Amino acid sequence: MPTIKDVAKLSGISRSTVSRVINNHPYVNEEKRMRVKQAMLDLGYVPNSSAQRLRGSKTKTIAVLISRIVNPFFSGLVDAMDTVATEAGYKLILCNTRGSKERELNYLDLLKTKQVDGVVFASIENDWSDIKPYLAYGPMVLCNEYTDQTDIPSFRINHFQATIEAVTHFIKEGRTKIAFCRGDETIGSNLGVDREKGFISALTSHHLSFNKQWLFRNVSSIEDGRNVMKKIERMTDRPDAIFTGSDEVATGIIAEAKISSIKVPKHLSVIGFDDQQIAGVITPGLTTIRQPINKLGEQTMQHMIHILTNRISFLGHTEVLTTEFIVRDT
């Protein structure tokens, strides 16, 4: 591997000037610049990024924390982030925490050891007080998740409002026995809490009460949805509508309903969350809340890059994007 020294030797020009050429420094004689470039080409020289990092301590790399990439919500988010990052010359390190606090902390060490310039949280596992100390090592931005324990930048939708809208839709359709699914309990985040608040709020304002039996915890996959449906089938007092919290869960419920006596939407009305591709292709078509996934990912990454480019130590910012209620058949 040729080094800057070899280029200097071959071109007969000092290392410092070669370095200037590499970094597009303005004050370099045009003729020498050419000679250096030619030497680099002849040798197949590429600057060693570890050395550059050691000197300058910027990595042009960003860590993106998600719970799991197979979840289409996250892969959509990552895809959008990647587009913006690549455009700006940044690379992404994929951090699948898989719901583990420990793994999340390990990934945060990337910031500490200067392997990434910043961290984007699209999912969050630890309590904010455990994450906060890492802010000393570099910037962080929240996407989708949020917490009121800090004013760290965050890009998200209003989960409280979106849930009210969905539940109100059920009520307007004449449903009164409404079930509710929530995902994994996460300490550091308000997302689940807000949805639950919205749910209760919508019920209350229509003088409906909530049957605790119809609360399903820790459901997030298609398989989980199938299991929810099996449980409902066994109930004597069954709900007539269900807020699923994700299109995957809704899909599982609908798929299971096909081999069950409970029919969707006749006996059970279903609302998903996200408006994934699957919502539009299953039968019956899934009514759902569309999140602007692309915008969410893009704006988050733009903000992170803005912070990094301008070396801003802290820039609070909260962006609440709007959702769209998509009515289909369920």
Partner DNA sequence: GTGAAAGCGCTAACAG
Partner DNA sequence: CTGTTAGCGCTTTCAC
Binder to a copy of itself among 16, 23, 29, 86 (CB under 8 A)?
86
Residue 249 engages a copy of itself in binding (rule: CB under 8 A): no
Q: Which positions ≥6 away from 245 have C-beta within 8 Å?
A: 180, 181, 182, 183, 195, 219, 220, 273
> Within 10 A of 34 (CB to CB), how many other CB atoms are there?
12
HEC letters along 178-190: EEEECCCCCCCCC
- Binding a copy of itself (rule: CB under 8 A), the pick from 152, 157, 264, 278 is 278
- Dihedral sign, Cα of residue 85, residue 86, residue 88, residue 90: positive
**Nearest Cα residue to 61 out of 120, 102, 106, 101:** 120
Q: CB of 79: closest distance to a copy of itself in angstroms?
A: 5
Helix (H, G, I), strand (E, B) or coil at 93: strand
The footprint of a copy of itself on residues 212-231 (CB under 8 A) is: 222
- Intra-chain end-to-end CA distance of the chain, in Å: 62
Q: State the minimum distance, in angstroms, from the CB of residue 24 to DNA.
A: 10
> Minimum distance from CB of 330 to DNA (Å)?
57
Residue carrying the six token digits 């409002």: 161
Q: What are phi and psi of 302, to 5 degrees?
A: -60, -40
Q: Which does 115 bind (CB under 5 to 8 A by kind): DNA, a copy of itself, none?
A: a copy of itself
Among 110, 124, 142, 178, indicate the residue that binds a copy of itself (CB under 8 A). 110
Q: For residue 286, give the DSSP letter.
A: P
Q: Which DSSP category does 274 fall into?
A: B
Minimum distance, C-beta of residue 160 to a copy of itself, in the bound complex (Å) = 28
Q: Are 142 and 153 in contact (CB under 8 A)?
A: yes
Piece of the chain touching DNA by CB under 7 A; list 17-25, 71-79, 310-318, 320-328: 17-25
Q: Is 324 helix (H, G, I), strand (E, B) or coil?
A: strand
Cα(2)–Cα(147) distance, rounded to whole angstroms?
49
Amino acid letter, residue 178: I
Residues 42-61 that bind a copy of itself (CB under 8 A): 46-51, 53-54, 57, 59, 61
Is the Cβ of residue 44 or residue 316 nearer to DNA in the bound state? Answer: 44
Could you give phi then psi for residue 265, rounded to 5 degrees?
Answer: -95, 5
Closer CB to a copy of itself, residue 76 or residue 198? 76
Interface of this chain with a copy of itself, residues 122 to 181, rule: CB under 8 A: none
> Which listed option, a copy of itself, DNA, none, makes contact with residue 68 (CB within 5 to 8 Å by class)?
a copy of itself
Q: Which is nearer to a copy of itself, 215 or 281 (CB)?
A: 281
Contact 216, 228 (CB under 8 A): yes
Query: DSSP character for 285?
Result: P
DSSP calls for 290-310: E--HHHHHHHHHHHHHHHHHT
What are the φ and ψ backbone dihedral angles of 288, each rounded to 5 degrees? -155, 170
Cβ 248 to a copy of itself shortest distance, Å: 8
Compute the least distance from the CB of residue 81 to a copy of itself, in Å.
10
User: What residues numbered 19-78 form the site for DNA, per CB under 7 A?
Assistant: 19-20, 22-23, 27-30, 32, 47-48, 51-52, 54-56
Nearer to a copy of itself, 12 or 133 (CB): 133
Q: Which residues bind a copy of itself (CB under 8 A)?
A: 46-51, 53-54, 57, 59, 61, 68-70, 72, 75-76, 78-79, 82, 86, 91-94, 96, 103, 109-110, 112-115, 222, 251-252, 254-255, 258, 277-278, 280-283
Q: Which residues bind DNA (CB under 7 A)?
A: 1, 3-5, 13-20, 22-23, 27-30, 32, 47-48, 51-52, 54-56
